[in-house]
Structure 1
Amino acid sequence: MTNTRLKRGLAAVGLTLAALSLGACGSEVTGRAVPEAGGGVVADTLLPDEPRADTGGTVEIDVEIGECVELTGTVDDANVVKAPCGSAPANYKVIGKAPTNAQCVSDADSYYYETLMGDEQGALCLDIDWVVGGCMELAGDQPTHIDCATPAREGVRVVEIITDVTDVEKCSTPSGYVYDERRFAVCTEDL
């Protein structure tokens, strides 16, 4: 049995969720998803300026850049599976693949990587799976797609995505999330 130990979190402009340790039984492979500082969110498709690089590395989950994953579980029972983007189960989109998590873009929301005997084998660079017009709940352990009519403690609706910006001042809404390195913003409104 392989060990899939997951540590994930979310760091975004104006939003910080604590990182969690998640795992499963076994001892050979260790996977981790770790928050990246200054991250934001992405739309339902990769933007033209987003890296589409697959620079190598190996992870057990078979996903391609642009596909989404569901990260769930507990310290004793982690689960990382492919999920349809924009669906209720999906919470992250794969925006790149790399031999190590340090090679993900600096403004990625998170990255998931696996180690074998302590050596990193590969990483998935991840952003939150945001969809223009869709809503997410940001309270709790992980971002979650929700119906926009659902009451939410920290729910937001994505209004627009604007490119070639490094702040939310260009948004038509008062708030949003910025990807400084990739120069785009996701403009949101609170539910």
Structure 2
Amino acid sequence: MLPRQYPDPAQKASTANTAAPVGACAQLGGTTAHSTLSVVPCDSERSNVKIIQQVRHPRECVRDADQSYYHNGPDGQWTACLDYAWQTSRCLAISPGKIINVACGDPAIPNKEKPVRVFRNVNHTHDCAQGGFAHPVRLYTICTETQP
């Protein structure tokens, strides 16, 4: 676990019995207008996001969250703030409205990102050879390499 990954670590306990428990991995699917969020095991090939915070409205998510999922249904209104669920042995293909967890060698999916390094206490990607995903509020960066 990364220090400061969870903006409010106490939420790991307080949200444990909810539809989007902080600390869980999930599959964010559907379309931008009609998205779905399903909790799945973190080592699952379906896992593409990690729930880092639960708030009422998307604007309340920590500013450097990678994504958010808004729910307004019979069981209430809430937002799951999300980071990409990086796995050392898998890649993520990230495009607007879609995140696919895929084998890094899969030739059918171009431009996959493989996580190669984590920098703590930095707010940029300058030290990443090929770029990455900075989290300037929580002060860590995931360096990635694009796979063909």
Do these two structures clear the TM 0.5 threshold for a shared fold by scoring above it? yes
- Report the RMSD for the aligned CA atoms in angstroms: 2.9
**Structure 2 match to 1:127:** 83
Deviation digits for residues 53-73 of structure 1 (CA, Å, limit 9, x no counterpart): 539xx9xx6232111111223
Question: Aligned partners of 2:71, 2:33: CA distance in 1, in Å?
Answer: 17
Q: Which has the higher contact order (CA 8 A, sep 6+)?
A: 1
The verdict on how the C-alpha distance between 1:79 and 1:148 changes in structure 2, with shifts beyond 3 A counting, is same
**Structure 2 match to 1:148:** 104
Asked if 1:168 is matched to 2:86, the reply is no
Asked if 1:48 is matched to 2:3, the reply is yes
Give the counterpart letter for 2:72 in structure 1.
T
Give the counterpart letter for 1:146 in structure 2.
V
Question: Aligned partners of 2:87, 2:93: CA distance in 1, in Å?
Answer: 13
Can you give the 5+ residue segments of structure 2 that lack an aligned partner in the other structure? none
The structure having more radius of gyration, on CA atoms, is 1
Question: Aligned partners of 2:48, 2:88: CA distance in 1, in Å?
Answer: 14
Question: Aligned partners of 2:33, 2:112: CA distance in 1, in Å?
Answer: 28
In the TM superposition, residue 161 of structure 1 has moved relative to its aligned partner by 1.0
The verdict on how the C-alpha distance between 1:139 and 1:75 changes in structure 2, with shifts beyond 3 A counting, is closer
In the TM superposition, residue 85 of structure 1 has moved relative to its aligned partner by 1.5
Q: Is the 8 A contact 1:53 1:96 kept in 2?
A: no
Give the counterpart letter for 1:123 in structure 2.
T
Can you give the 5+ residue segments of structure 1 that lack an aligned partner in the other structure? 1-45
Q: Percent identity?
A: 28
Structure 1 residues 40-189: aligned runs within 5 Å: 46-50=1-5, 51=7, 52-54=9-11, 62-74=19-31, 79-115=36-72, 121-139=77-95, 141-151=97-107, 152-171=109-128, 173-189=129-145
The alignment's TM-score, normalised by the length of structure 2, stands at 0.79
Counterpart secondary structure, 1:138: strand
The verdict on how the C-alpha distance between 1:188 and 1:78 changes in structure 2, with shifts beyond 3 A counting, is closer
Matched pairs, number:
141
